[in-house]
Structure 1
Amino acid sequence: MELYFTNRRRALAVGEVPGIERAELSDLFGRRLALDGTPVLLDLGMRPVEPVSSWFRHLALMGRSVKTMRKYAYVALRLSEFLSQAGTDLMSATETDLLEYRALRTREQPEPIAKTTWEAEATAINRLYAWLVAEGYVAARPWRGDGSRDSLRNSVTRDLRVRHMTLEQYQYFRDVGLAGQLPDGSVDRSFRGRSPHRSRAGAELGLLTGMRLGEWSTLLLPELDLDGARPREGVEIQLAACAKFGRSRTVYAPRAALELVRTYLLLERRHVVTAAQATLAKRRPDLFLVDADQDGRGKLRGVLEGRRVTRTIRHMPPELRAITVMDTGDGLEPLAVFVGLGGTMPHPSTWDKIRWRAWERMRLHAADLAAPIMPTQPWLFHDLRHTFALQLLRFLMLRAAQDGAQSGMPMSTLADHIAYNPLLIVQRRLGHASPATTYIYLRYLKDPMREVDEAFAAWAAQDELTYAEIGRELLTRGTEEGSGDATQR
């Protein structure tokens, strides 16, 4: 079995499909019967494997994101292949078959997955079988369960993993890992990384706004308003389609973050775009070509797939943002803030490679006296979001305490509590659906490792003595205490 994902533009570019006229093909894709990115599972004869492929289409029609469908597709592929090797299929599988699959994934394969990862996979399998039952393919799920618990799950609750950076760690990550400097701040002339200003600007934007990687890396130039904003101002960004679960929120980008973005635009981006003009020209029919004169109301007008359309920027998904360009008269200008080779928006996997290369550089210079303490696991771009949340929460709680002490009065009304509560403010800034998620950050307001260091500082000072000297001191102390007790008696 092979897993594929629909792509209307590629299919139309091929132009010829046996048994289907080009006009008919254009009509089929014009009706948008399947969302781009919808999985299709094919057998060796290139025929859709049912009922899995129909479930994929159901997910697309229900509005599942491309990212979610991709995750579910690989779960279904792995399970289908396992059942096929066991001589059965999805409709005939028993509870024993599925428990054996769980054992394979969590214990027996060369690199078993974590229990929390299995919980996510079990969720996909549950939803697959719920659909199979609803469509009448099977009478019931093949495993037992009572209420919220069932034999397929591990009943492991996934907790929010919060990792945050100190100022020294962040600067080391940004400047040494991403930008190629040396720990002492000097230029490393042996650095051969690509687009260090882009990586540095992205990290600063992620840290100072609290946005996720999928949010700040897909921003468009009109959203930052770098031409219109005064030098001493930040900008507010309206997020929607690129936010997690499409949940709308307003993000504030301060001046410091915008300044690094401006530096990247001036020193790197224009050269990348100039070098990509030939590639962009070839792709012109597949791009969203917006008009040079816009109304500045958060909308873009232009030509997409041969039709005049208007799109609201905050509702534009990442895949549309990646192909949005403007004809300036001197060439095509991508509207994405961050661009890579070919003038296209870097894929999440590209940012992941950038992060890994940064980690290797940081490890290379970790022994330098100017380097901070490194964690055991590589930093994630998402750790910038956690750092933002903790720094903002710590600042707001301290300010609330100071304001309360100065006024001598507690917050008098429920409205005051809601308006000025630090946790609720951070919840709104991060876009958490529930304050319970934000409460988890309270555990990390104080650094437990630093508290351990302080608690045992006096004990740790003994490490300059030899074991013999420590033993002699203890014996002497015990003798003196013993003689003192004898005298008292």
Structure 2
Amino acid sequence: MFFTDQRKVWKVGQVAGLNQAELSALFSRRLLPTGTPILLDEAMRPVEPMSSWFRSLALERKAAKTMRSYAYSVLMLLHFLLARQADLQSATEGDLREFRLWRQDEAEEVVDDAAWDRDWAAIESLYVYLVRIGAVARQPWRATPQRSSLASRIRPDLRVRHMGLEQYLYLRDVGFGGLAADAGLDESFRGWRPHRNRAACELALMTGMRIQEWSTLLLPELGLLDGRQPAFADVDLKACAKFGRPRSVYVAPDAMELLAPYLLLERPEIVAKAQRSLRRRHRELFVVQCLEADGTRVRGMLDGLTITRTVKNMKPDLRRVAVLESGDGLEPLALFIGQSGKMLTLWAWDKIRWRAWDRLQAWAGHWQAPVLPRRCWVYHDLRHTFALRLLVFLTREALNDAKAQGLPMSTLLDHMSGNPLLVVQRRLGHAHTSTTYRYIRYLKDPMREVGDAFRAWTAAGGASYVTIARSLMELEDAGHAPPRPLHP
């Protein structure tokens, strides 16, 4: 299994002596978007109809991550069928059911229902393609009115883990920022770029963006070029949003203010040290020559060609190599950058997160440290915290407005425009209100309510069993008879 990478082809082509015109003609004749899977046999020949199906997925604009997942799911099915002397054309519903049984019960690493549904989505897509090209007469499983007979029909529950204020400040300042648990200076801290990491943490919380959204932000989107520092920003998301679903994100003044130390102290130093590396990789970069339409559109050189792109439509791979040609050198357009001057990858952010978690655990015994969860915090927990806090605030505002107006019931227009669930849904970019609705169950702590409900039971009725047992042991040690229980 291989995956196409146009950037690598450019490098190999230049080494082989092909010029840019020849490479451009090659790409124009056979369009294979980056990330397209290719399955080869022992003689390095494409395996059909698998490779053609992969290409059809790429032309349908499937994400590279989705295509990779589909490819490995179907590859496991192929190996399973070959071990049973079968193939895609001869496979029956029984074969597919046994494949599911193997994946969920007998494989070296079994999967749950949610993971199986992802495998099944790939298999369904493959057989739809096979029927369309005539490789098979029909799909080998029975169809049902709702879904396939092999799907789990189990909708995974939304796991919402959110933070309290003390937990968040502990994560941001101690874990990411390198401070001590009492908010003092920790002289033993040897972490990397604490201002950048704290700013990223604050940005994720105050906007509710997913990690693939806030980690790929560009300076023009926040109005941060030419030394400007606006009080707030409105960002239009599209290419980096989930499923490419467009929405507008408001970046509050607090988040913008916390960016200032990073932009003034750390980022210029990173850019200056990365100049040699950026110049060496000049041919691989998207060198922006000018910004148009108030920074919403960029024009520059990529692979020897002049291209113009709208910023919100720039995909993460293009954002990662985008630099601005200035009089002082190459300025990366990415907001959060690493040592090389390039945008930090998700793997790099994950490494930063685990280092922060190690610091949190090291300070967990301090009397000012809050209670930590059993599992490491993830960046998506900040998104859940944003959603719950905003939902609580908007609900209280709506109740206060209705009370102030003295109306028995708000008008339909007021209810529709100010409905807290609809506002949170729009801010989070959820496609369906049902996804946002599941946050309601987390607005109160159910375990605390359980404790409150049964606290009177354990406190009433005289002495508890623990008290009786302690008294019994003490009296027996003293040689006295045990006391009689207060209640039968």
Q: State TM-score, norm by structure 2.
A: 0.90
1:299-330: per-residue Cα shift (whole Å, max 9, x none)? 11222222222211111111111111011122
1:113 aligns with 2:111: yes
* Larger deviation, residues 348-357 vs 323-332: 348-357
Kept in 2, the 8 Å contact 1:40–1:53? The answer is yes
Matched residues in 1 for 2:162 and 2:382: separation? 7
Partner of 1:265: 263
| 1:470 to partner: Cα distance | 7.8
| 1:165 to partner: Cα distance | 1.0
Kept in 2, the 8 Å contact 1:325–1:335? The answer is yes
Report the count of equivalent residues. Answer: 477
Kept in 2, the 8 Å contact 1:226–1:262? The answer is no
Matched residues in 1 for 2:317 and 2:457: separation? 57
Matched residues in 1 for 2:14 and 2:277: separation? 24
Partner of 1:487: none
Choose the corresponding residue for 2:58, options 54, 57, 60.
60
Choose the corresponding residue for 2:243, options 242, 245, 256.
245
Choose the corresponding residue for 2:197, options 180, 196, 199.
199
1:468 aligns with 2:469: yes
Choose the corresponding residue for 1:127, options 116, 125, 148.
125
Choose the corresponding residue for 2:487, options 472, 478, 484.
478
For 1:424, give the aligned amino acid: L
| 1:216 to partner: Cα distance | 0.4
* Larger deviation, residues 431-440 vs 408-417: 408-417
For 1:478, give the aligned amino acid: H
| Alpha-carbon RMSD | 2.8
| 1:214 to partner: Cα distance | 0.6
Partner of 2:101: 103
| 1:21 to partner: Cα distance | 8.9
Report the identity percentage.
52
Partner of 1:484: none
* Larger deviation, residues 316-325 vs 91-100: 91-100
For 1:415, give the aligned amino acid: L
Choose the corresponding residue for 1:217, options 215, 218, 224.
215
Partner of 1:304: 302
Change (3 A) 1:369 1:67: same
| 1:264 to partner: Cα distance | 1.4
Choose the corresponding residue for 2:395, options 389, 394, 397.
397
Change (3 A) 1:410 1:356: farther
Partner of 1:72: 70
For 2:407, give the aligned amino acid: M
| 1:451 to partner: Cα distance | 2.1
Change (3 A) 1:79 1:19: farther
Partner of 1:376: 374
Change (3 A) 1:88 1:362: farther
For 1:152, give the aligned amino acid: L
**How do 1:150-165 and structure 2 match up within 5 A?**
150-165=148-163
Choose the corresponding residue for 1:415, options 413, 416, 424.
413
SS where residue 42 of structure 1 aligns?
A: coil
Matched residues in 2 for 1:470 and 1:127: separation? 70
Partner of 2:170: 172
| 1:347 to partner: Cα distance | 1.4
| 1:465 to partner: Cα distance | 5.5
1:43-99: per-residue Cα shift (whole Å, max 9, x none)? 222211211111111011111122221221221222223333333332232333322
* Larger deviation, residues 68-77 vs 207-216: 68-77
For 1:223, give the aligned amino acid: E
| 1:22 to partner: Cα distance | 7.5
Kept in 1, the 8 Å contact 2:402–2:410? The answer is no
* Larger deviation, residues 425-434 vs 227-236: 227-236
Partner of 1:233: 231
Partner of 2:283: 285
Specify every segment of 5 or more residues in structure 2 that has no aligned partner in the other structure, as ranges. Answer: 474-481
* Larger deviation, residues 302-311 vs 399-408: 302-311
Matched residues in 2 for 1:134 and 1:323: separation? 39
Q: State TM-score, norm by structure 1.
A: 0.90
Partner of 1:483: none
Kept in 2, the 8 Å contact 1:292–1:328? The answer is no
1:437 aligns with 2:435: yes
Change (3 A) 1:394 1:143: same
Change (3 A) 1:244 1:463: farther
